[in-house]
Amino acid sequence: MRRQLVRLAVILLVAVLSVAALRAAQPQLETSAETRLAFEAATIKLAAPDAVRNQVMPSSPSRLSIPSMTLTWLIYTAYGSGGYNTSMSVRGGPGWVNSTAFAIEGVASKDATPRQLRLMLQTLIEERFALKIRYETETNNVLTLVVDRGDGTLGPKVRKWDGTCPRVMPVLSFPSARRPLQRVGDTFVVGPASETDDPAVPYCPTGYSAGGIRIDGATMVTVADVLSLPPGRAALGTVTQDQTGLTDRYTMELEYAFPRSPSAGAPQPEFAGPSLSTAVREQWGLRIVPGRGPLKVIRVESARLPTDN
């Protein structure tokens, strides 16, 4: 009899604990579903033929403006890191996802971070395009960026970012998307660093300059991304990924004469300067070495032309 009572007590205790665990889990599930971010108002229409292509235009902290992007590029923008996304590949879908460009305007109910605006864009394109995607990961041969010196010191062309951006914006090719400036009175200033900032998004103008590369207010994630863009990739042969372990933001200049791409049918011009990897090592104190790295793949399983606004 005693054994039966003990057994019954154990069964009741397990049942009570199971119910308690279920109740504890339910609010988390409900909160996750309820807090998915979305624009308060948004429009999607065909882009104008002369609209600026594949850029998120500067706007207020509560507004996202994209003059012209295909659905493939919208996926890069919405599901990427906020940077160049050089270690990401969007594949599949009907033919129009790579050919038909759309203009998008989205307004949030209050000021939002760039990351929150990207999450709102995810919700928007999933709903309006009936988008279904699948995540995959591939491991490929890549180049890796590591610190060259054993004591961890960096090169002469690298300094910690001082929290300011240049008053006169430099002319750059392949410019990166950057963190929006904050409005203070009648001026726009660089706001303080925040835990919500994306490591792949620079604070100041970053890209290729006339005499090399300019990195400003950016992490090593951006440095590797810039080296993976067409000029750097042509010199190095493949994409570069950050494996320095450094998390600070830096201002960096690289003096390097990238060869100009020859016109169709023209011979490849001779280039007698130092290799790009040598310049990176001497000026930045970083080394580019072969390695293995992940490629984030987003496969479009289905999509349809957007519904009415």
Mean pLDDT of the chain: 84
Q: Residue 175, SS3?
A: coil
| 288 and 207 assigned to the same domain | yes
Q: How many CB atoms lie within 10 A of CB 140?
A: 12
- H/E/C letters for each residue in 83-103? CCCCCEEEEECCHHHHCCEEE
- Of 33-47, 75-89, 200-214, the poorest mean pLDDT is in 33-47
Over residues 238-251, mean pLDDT: 96
What's the CA angle centered on 278, arms 276 and 284, to 5 degrees? 90
| 176 and 282 assigned to the same domain | yes
Contact by Cβ (8 Å): 52, 67: yes
Contact by Cβ (8 Å): 182, 223: no
How many domains does the chain contain in total? 2
| 71 and 165 assigned to the same domain | no
**pLDDT over 90 for what percent of the chain?**
66
Q: How far apart are alpha carbons 16 and 113 in whole angstroms?
A: 42
**Is 35 inside a domain boundary?**
no
pLDDT in tens, 120-161: 999 999 999 999 999 999 999 999 999 999 999 999 999 999
| Residue 78, domain extent | 41-138+296-302
Q: How far is CA 241 from the centre of its chain?
A: 13
Q: Does residue 25 surpass a pLDDT of 50?
A: no
| 147 and 238 assigned to the same domain | yes
Contact by Cβ (8 Å): 295, 135: no
**Is 34 inside a domain boundary?**
no
H/E segment holding residue 247: none
| 73 and 125 assigned to the same domain | yes
| 164 and 287 assigned to the same domain | yes
307 band by pLDDT with thresholds 50, 70 and 90:
confident
Q: Does residue 177 surpass a pLDDT of 60?
A: yes
| 146 and 278 assigned to the same domain | yes
Q: Does residue 33 surpass a pLDDT of 90?
A: no
- Tell me the pTM: 0.79
Q: Does residue 169 surpass a pLDDT of 90?
A: no
pLDDT for 196 equals 73
262 band by pLDDT with thresholds 50, 70 and 90:
low
